[in-house]
Amino acid sequence: MKKLMLGNEAIARGVYESGATVAVAYPGTPSTEITEFIAKYDEIYAEWAPNEKVALEVAIGSCFAGARSVATMKHVGLNVAADPLFTAAYTGVNAGLVIFVADDPGMHSSQNEQDTRLIARAASVPVLEPADSMECKEYVKMGMTLSEQYDTPVIIRLTTRVSHSQGIVETNEKEAAVLKDYQKDIQKYVMTPANARVRHRVVEERMNRLESDMTKLGLYTIEESKSNIGIITSGVCYQYVKESGIDANIFKLNMVNPLPLEAIKAFAEKVDCLYIVEELEPFIEEQVRAAGIKAKGKELFGRQGEITVRQIKTVLGMDVPEVTAGENLPIRPPVLCPGCPHRSVYTVLKKLKLMVMGDIGCYTLGSLPPHLAMDACVCMGASVSMTHGVEKARGRAFSKNVVGIIGDSTFMHSGITGLIDVVYNKGMSTIIIADNSTTGMTGHQHHPGTGKTLKGEETYAVDLEALCKAIGVPNVITVDAYDMKAVEKALKEETAKDEPSVIITKAPCKLLIKEKWDVYQINEENCSSCGLCLNLGCPAIQKYEASASINEALCAGCGLCESVCKKGAISKGGN
Amino acid sequence: MTKNILIVGVGGQGTLLTGRIIGNYAMSKGFDVKMSEVHGMAQRGGSVVMQVRYGKKVYSPLVELGEADIIFAFEKLEALRYMPFLKKDGVIISNTQQIDPMPVVMGMAKYPEAILEKISSACSQTCFIDALSIAKEIGNVKVVNMIMIGAYAAYIGDSLEEWEVIVEKTVPLHTVAMNKEALKKGYYAYLNK
């Protein structure tokens, strides 16, 4: 059957067809949908783990136990999972283990644009790189086979344009899921120094063997032409090269780690000018050059952002359509949604002029106008630990005006350990857990605090209050996120205490609410155009001439505007 | 020849669904199709673009500057923003709706004036549809995207019936009648321009 599929959906289909039975992930754009699509297959056990390290470890355990397994994460998630990854390369697998890692060149929805290929090389883990949805599906199966044949975890590296592009996929029947026998093998699976020394030799030998087998395995393809130009490329960049219509010899790498350097040498000898078209780091280029092959790459294409067909055409001296520069238009940055329960919290943080250590999630948008209520955002969980760091650097008097803010899902991911550090090391930080009962930015995934599993089954919901108290936080209070007075009171009281505090600002993400609500209206006669409601930064409130007005199509009925209006001009209308 | 379509709008307006409908339709006609979507942070009320390409064989999922055959805009400022992507003889079909970006709401920037005139002077083939007013007539502002899809169907010269079948397959059962009405109104809004 032929179907248009997102790269991520095709990966999920590949997982199904490969007979894998365990899939674990933590959500992260652009990788999230892989696991959501996997969850639709009844044959596969799939779960959200609290973070990527746990996800990979679960998958390692299940592959040791004999089930073909997959773990999924975004590029920065692989940093969290780096610890198990590096040593899983030593232990190898029993049944196949494939790890999907989605990079985000151009940072559409990420805090950096690191290149997974470099980590994979450091860990000596093979990397396959599909170029479209059809390849996504096929490479999962190829990855499983390679994983078992070469006794290694295999990474499938995706980028945003592969993950979030749709292409036509021809589906196949599923391979039978066979649970492999488990046999105790201490030398292979227990990585004490004595065993690991032996296994490190295995890793090196395995990567060398894989490199020499690449031709036989069809892990690259060569498209020949009479041109004297040669291009080495992989992934979506291959599509860009093809789209440019350039007449060239094309060396398409299906596997990018290890590289088939002998075959590349032979290819390079046949051309006069060799280009390497790859996004982000000069991963292929540096190895090719180190092998004594002349090639052009990053000096033409750069390390940052995405490569375009236009850029390739320009570099290769081809015609591109003339483009008149666009007018300088007001930008349209992402904003907190109408009705978002984070809006009230940021309005208070702005009012109190607190220094705010932020974190990763929808609430990072509090750093944008009009709130500008964030001072730092680095990585998942860092808000808590950074808040502690600020206090240790500048002392208690300063830290009374500092808070950390972290979402519920991010707190589960890696905020807990930071909070333990605060308590253990006698910190006095105040941490806000902005609990909207979901993983919002990635599109509403469950987590250990929501009471539902990935498959939608009821489960135990971690009690945030009880958890914080158990860690040893003496002051844990929960307030209604929309109640600005309560939020303000809590912040003033808790930051004044010489003890650690957690304020849970609780209200579910507005997008989760299915019931109809009453929208609000502005009575123009009473409106004095003071701008207080506009300062909330709600996309539903716009200024027209003398008065502000509420876009009823966007209004989510939270009533925050009514609570800030001093003229009583805003009131509930109908639905 | 590959057809390049940019569907632009504001996060939450239904560009994603529209792109998928158009893409699936092209596939049903036997074309190779590639589409590129925006997920994650930009979806939260930001400027979003959905790219659809179809033809005999399509490689890249992205539409390049100066290569779009159609810019299909759900908001007029977004239509203007993506103008540099339009081909010389390309077409713009745009909703005339105005949604102020946050810098405008905050008074830090001005919503540009005379957008439709600017578009018309730069592009010879335009069609502007007041989809929001039509949607209000129908009684649900959320059908703006279906009105725009109706306009698209009329633009590519298909019969309304053919698209009604697609709509029936795509939208939730209880919204079929409303969406079909929106499709029809959009279809005739285009034809009557």
Question: Are B58 and B140 within one domain?
Answer: no
Question: Are B29 and B123 within one domain?
Answer: yes
Q: DSSP letter at A323? A: -
Question: Which helix (H) or strand (E) covers residue A141, if one does?
Answer: helix A133-149
pLDDT tens per residue, range A371-399: 999 999 999 999 999 999 999 999 999 99
The pLDDT of B163-182, averaged and rounded, is 90
Question: Are B116 and B175 within one domain?
Answer: no
Give chain A positions within 8 Å (CB) of B106.
Answer: 369-370, 534-535, 537
Among chain A residues, the shortest Cα distance to B37 is held by A164
Option in A33, A166, A534 nearest B34 (CB): A166
Question: Are B154 and B85 within one domain?
Answer: no
- Is there a contact between A534 and B12 if contact means CB atoms under 8 Å apart? no
Question: Are B61 and B146 within one domain?
Answer: no
pLDDT of residue B13: 85
pLDDT of residue B169: 84
Give how far B68 is from chain A: nearest CA, Å. Answer: 11
Residues 26-85 of B with CB under 8 A from A: 27, 32-47, 58-62, 64-67, 77-78, 80-81, 83-84
pLDDT of residue B44: 67
State the total domains in chain B: 2
Residues of chain A with pLDDT under 70: 544-545, 574-575
ipTM above 0.90, yes or no: yes
CATH architecture of residue range(s) A520-572: 2-Layer Sandwich (3.30)
d(C-alpha A433, C-alpha A503), whole Å: 6
Give how far B133 is from chain A: nearest CA, Å. Answer: 12
Give how far A288 is from chain B: nearest CA, Å. Answer: 26
pLDDT of residue B31: 96
Burial (CB < 10 A; 0-12, 13-18, 19+), residue A128, is buried
d(C-alpha A50, C-alpha A30), whole Å: 18
Q: CATH says A220-315 is which class?
A: alpha beta
* End-to-end CA separation in angstroms for chain B: 27
End position of a domain, from candidates B111, B129, B147? B129
User: CATH number of the domain that B59 lies in?
Assistant: 3.40.920.10
For A64, the 3-state DSSP assignment is helix
Q: Do β-strands A154-159 and A127-128 pair in parallel, antiparallel, or remain unpaired?
A: parallel
Question: Are B11 and B53 within one domain?
Answer: yes
pLDDT tens per residue, range A330-352: 999 888 999 999 999 999 999 99
pLDDT of residue B41: 60
pLDDT of residue B35: 96
Taking the whole predicted model, whether its pTM rises above 0.80 is answered as yes
Question: Are B113 and B146 within one domain?
Answer: no
The answer to whether A2-216 and A342-512 have equal CATH topology is yes
Question: Are B115 and B20 within one domain?
Answer: yes
Contact in structure between A557 and A527 (CB atoms under 8 Å): no
A245 reaches B (C-beta below 8 A): no
Among chain B residues, the shortest Cα distance to A539 is held by B102
A61 reaches B (C-beta below 8 A): no
Average pLDDT, rounded, for chain A: 96
Question: Are B84 and B179 within one domain?
Answer: no
CATH architecture of residue range(s) A342-512: 3-Layer(aba) Sandwich (3.40)
Q: Which residues constitute the domain of residue B165?
A: 136-193
How far is the CA of B24 from the CAs of A138, B34, B93, B163, B168, in angstroms?
22, 10, 20, 12, 14
pLDDT tens per residue, range B23-63: 989 998 999 999 998 776 656 678 889 999 999 999 999 99
Sorted by where each begins, the domain ranges of chain A are 2-216, 220-315, 342-512, 520-572
Question: Are B141 and B55 within one domain?
Answer: no
Question: Are B123 and B152 within one domain?
Answer: no
B25 reaches A (C-beta below 8 A): no
Q: CATH says A2-216 is which class?
A: alpha beta
Option in A33, A167, A368 nearest B34 (CB): A167
CA B158 to mean position of chain CA atoms: 16
Burial (CB < 10 A; 0-12, 13-18, 19+), residue A299, is exposed
pLDDT tens per residue, range A354-365: 999 999 999 999
